[in-house]
Every structure is written in C-alpha cells, then in structure tokens.
C-alpha cells in the first residue's frame, strides 16, 4: 500500500529574550501530551484515563488486516510528526534559555540527552532543507542517519533513491556499509555487518525508548489529572 510523505511543520520562532525554563518545559511536555495512541486514537487529553480492557472504542475497532494496517500506519505517521516538532522546540529552547539551563531542562524530560540531540539534528535537517520535507523519511531516526552523512554521501544517497518517506533503516545502513568498503567482498565484511547490525539495533531501541517514554509521560499526566478531579 503506497504511503503518503509525512507532513512536517518546518516553521520556526525568531529568537527572543531568554524564556523561563518552566515555560519551555510546558511547551515540550505539551508536544507529547495527547499523542495519538492505541488507547486514544484521536489524540488529545482527558481527565479520565482510558479503559484498560478495550484497546479501541467499539465503533472504531479494526476487523481486517487492511484496517489494522491503515490504523496503525496513521498513528505511526502522526507520532513521527510529533517527534520532529519536539526536535524543533528543543532547538528553540537551546537558543532562548540561559547558559546551563538547557541541560538542566533536558534532564527533566522523558527522554535522554542523546535522544534530544538526535531529535534536534533531524528537525534541523528538515528545517534548513538539508533533507526536503516532502521527501523526508517517515522515521525521525532515519532522518537523523541521513543528516549525519556528509554532503557528498547524502547526494549519492539521493541518486540511489534512499531519501524517500518509506526508506528503511536497513537500506540506509547497507548504503553506509558500501561507502566504508564493507560490501561483502572483503575479509572485514562479517565484522562490518555485525557492527552495522548493532548500530541498527541501538537506533531502533533509542527510537522505541523515546516513544515509550513519551507515552508514559502522557499516561502519568492523565493519572494526575484524574486524581485532581476525583
């Protein structure tokens, strides 16, 4: 099934006077709040946590393979768009906060400093059109992998049609392996392939970790809101 390119907000906010850390934290937390999920397919927040038994409301419950693929793909695309927006907010926060406050702020967020850096790199690559938004990979981790290449490597990747919404991490890593000479022809190929497999797994786990942490933060917010209204 053909997938549409991910629509990405590349707008930017002009630099201004340093903002209070609490204000920037509110922006970043609001970027993860209400993220579409299986328990909340439309996104948004509610004072009452979603039921633990029904995963989706009965009227929206998928019944066929195609319906499940459509629902899950839509939620995945919406989540990826949200993560690029988080990267843009992180960039703005670093520009606006006082020296030393940004690292303190990141320590309070539901993901690691490394993940924040990767998200910023991906968002920056799209904002300055190093990677055209209409051709950006659907996965922010894949955007990061392309953004970390040199200009010449990225141009070659584009010639090989590796800059597209549905490109896979395996394709990008295989391309990088070819660039470093680990194409399966030499004695170092098994080692190179093993290292690439490790790198691929690390990137996958970091992406999944960020997704899980954002979802946990959302659920924690729902629980607090529910307790306040009780």
For residues 155 and 158, what is the distance between their CA atoms, to the nearest angstrom?
A: 5
Is 197 a domain residue? yes
Is 188 a domain residue? yes
Is 12 a domain residue? no
Is 56 a domain residue? no
* pLDDT of 182: 58
Closest CA to 62 of 50, 53, 71, 54: 71
pLDDT digits (tens, 9 = 90+) for 174-214: 998 888 775 444 444 444 555 555 666 677 777 777 778 87
pLDDT digits (tens, 9 = 90+) for 86-116: 999 999 999 999 888 999 999 888 888 888 8
- Structural domain harbouring 137: 21-46+66-229
What is the dihedral angle through the alpha carbons of 57, 80, 118, 154, rounded to the nearest 10 degrees? 160
Asked if pLDDT for residue 51 goes beyond 70, the answer is no
Is 16 a domain residue? no
* pLDDT of 124: 93
DSSP string across 118-159 = HHHHHHHHHHTTSS-GGG--SSHHHHHHHHTS-HHHHHHHHH
Q: Total domain count for the chain?
A: 1
Is 5 a domain residue? no
For residues 210 and 43, what is the distance between their CA atoms, to the nearest angstrom?
A: 18
Is 103 a domain residue? yes
Residues 6+ apart with CB under 8 A from 170: 200
* pLDDT of 189: 47
Is 162 a domain residue? yes
End-to-end, the C-alpha distance of the chain in Å comes to 45
Name the H helices within 45-188.
65-96, 101-107, 113-127, 140-147, 151-159, 169-179
What is the dihedral angle through the alpha carbons of 86, 90, 91, 92, rounded to the nearest 10 degrees? 100
* pLDDT of 130: 93
Residues 6+ apart with CB under 8 A from 9: 81, 84, 85, 88
Interior angle at CA 193, CA 189 and CA 195, nearest 5? 120
């Amino acid at each position: 099934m053909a997938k549409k390119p991910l629509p990405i907000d590349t707008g930017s906010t002009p630099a201004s006077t340093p903002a209070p850390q609490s204000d920037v934290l509110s922006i970043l937390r609001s970027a993860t709040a209400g993220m579409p999920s299986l328990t909340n397919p439309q996104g948004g927040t509610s004072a009452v946590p979603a039921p633990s038994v029904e995963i989706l409301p009965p009227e929206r419950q998928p019944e066929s393979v195609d319906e499940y693929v459509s629902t899950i793909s839509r939620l995945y695309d919406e989540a990826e768009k949200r993560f690029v927006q988080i990267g843009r907010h992180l960039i703005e926060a670093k520009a606006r906060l006082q020296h030393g406050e940004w690292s303190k702020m990141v320590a309070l967020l539901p993901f690691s400093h490394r993940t924040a850096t990767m998200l910023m790199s991906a968002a920056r690559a799209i904002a300055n059109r190093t990677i055209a938004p209409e051709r950006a990979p659907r996965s922010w981790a894949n955007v990061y992998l392309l953004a970390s290449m040199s200009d010449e490597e990225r141009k070659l990747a584009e010639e090989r049609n590796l800059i597209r919404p549905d490109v896979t991490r395996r394709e990008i890593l295989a391309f990088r392996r070819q660039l470093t000479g680990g194409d399966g022809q030499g004695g170092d190929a098994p080692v190179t392939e093993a290292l690439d497999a490790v790198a691929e797994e690390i990137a996958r786990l970091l992406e999944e970790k960020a997704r899980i942490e954002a979802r946990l933060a959302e659920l924690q917010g729902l629980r607090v809101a529910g307790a306040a209204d009780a």
